[in-house]
A and B are shown apart, each in its own frame.
Chain A
Amino acid sequence: MGRNGSFHIAIDDVTCVQCAGCVSICPTEALHMQGLTLECHDPTCIGCDLCVRFCPVVALSLHALSAPPVRAEA
């Protein structure tokens, strides 16, 4: 498990059939349906990879952000 804010979930829009299966098992509510369309709120994702392994049609991939945004010093 990683830190919030260090991950990006890429959704392959051509492959995804918007079935919401991944939403049902995402432990952080990072994945959600906007009407009929799947969206991911990256800052909430903890990089657990469950959705990637779950998706019946392999539409998701998980990317670690190499340089997570750092808050600028005041």
Chain B
Amino acid sequence: MRAVDVFVVGAGPAGSYVSYALAKRGFEVFMAEKRPEVGVPVRCGEAAGSLAELEHFLPLSDDWIAGPIDGARLFGPSGVRVERHMPGVGTQLHRDRFDQALARQAVEAGVELQTSLQIDSVGAFEHGGREVRGRNLAAAGAPFRMRARLLLGADGVESLVGQWLGLRRAFPVGDVHSALQYLLDQVPAGKRYIDLYAGHAVAPGGYAWVFPKQNGTANVGLGVHVTAKLRRSARDYLDDFVRTRFPDSRILDVTAGGVSGPRSLKSMVTDGAALVGESGHTNNPFSGGGIMNALESAEEAGVALGEALRDGDLSARRLRDYQKRWQARVGRTNDLFFKLRNLFFRFDDHEIDWAVESLQRVVAGVEQNNVDYTGIFRSAMLEHPKLVLKAARALW
């Protein structure tokens, strides 16, 4: 049986970048992707970091850049809004071509990529490695086996690798938003802002988004928090949203998905294996955004796991260096966002409006170098006494 240094399951941003990082360090890396074509179909709102942030991971190319994001507006249920002009704060991607460019970068660094290869199980860590088993879907399901010193699960939101390794279970349903998105035409051009809408009538426990793409098209979608009380589907909510706000637009494409906003994993690593990207619970728990986080976790994995491979120590204890680096870079902030998410779930519409108004005061204060936090706290105490209790429950 063939043996490699590193076997990576999944060629999303996390898989491609960690493969690239380890191949550059001289290791033999094999990456399996079950889709026939990397990045297709797109399951994403396609909003990512600034060009400078992206360039850190990949040379920029008009091929995958749909345009800049120059600011954001957040709307509360009553229509109150906060707006901030931030030129180039983010980038709207063509996610399929972005994922393909990342995979190409990996292949050019020496990674062997096989598409239509679905991994079905992984063996125990013995004799300094693990066996990986799967099927070649392009060849009538022909069986596939390979050994690797290090196995990386970069299999995204549907991750089963983490479950086989005993590192995680399926996401609790409350930790994944049920999301649907339409690509609409005839969306009034205006500024290149991303618009977010919160409120129980629009998207209970979540938010709706409008992310402009090119030529008057936009990704318009929403995610809802699935609870026992939820009576309507994401599709019902999105159809209402589109009917009232974009009555003249046509639906050019439909994307659905689970957007995870999870609690950090107790452990992202075990003997001879680790989870990278969304499968390692790296998404921002408040926004659900995961592209940049996937890349950042892959970069930290590249450094820490590269050193472990070099030293020939693939014990869980040694691989934990990766998790430590991730925690310091993003994970600890994510833990705070997870608490904020739980607070947001408890908000009624008045409290969401209050939060938007408070944010407005913060933004205005930042612009004048003078944020009135005491005033905001006083308004919470006087106008929304329950908020303090809710915050106490969610945050501590």
Contact = CB atoms under 8 A, between A and B. Distances in A.
A24 B170 contact: yes
Report the interface size class on chain B. 20 to 34
A20 B160 contact: no
Contacts of A28: 170
Interface string A1-24: 000000000000000011111111
Interface stretch (B57-65, B171-179, B314-322, B352-360): B171-179
B385 to A, nearest CB: 33
Among B118, B179, B226, B254, residue most surrounded by chain A Cβ atoms (within 10 Å): B226
A31 to B, nearest CB: 9
Nearest to B231: A53
Contacts, number: 88
Nearest to B34: A35
Interface residues of A, number: 25
A22 B257 CA distance: 8
B169 A27 contact: yes
A14 B255 CA distance: 14
A64 interface: no
A4 to B, nearest CB: 16
A59 B157 CA distance: 19
Given A20-B158, A20-B257, A26 B170 contact: yes
13 contacts: A19-B43, A19-B256, A20-B157, A23-B160, A24-B158, A24-B170, A24-B176, A25-B176, A25-B258, A35-B36, A50-B173, A57-B180, A57-B234
Interface of B: 34-36, 41, 43, 116, 118, 137, 156-160, 163, 169-173, 176, 178-180, 226, 230, 233-235, 254-258, 260
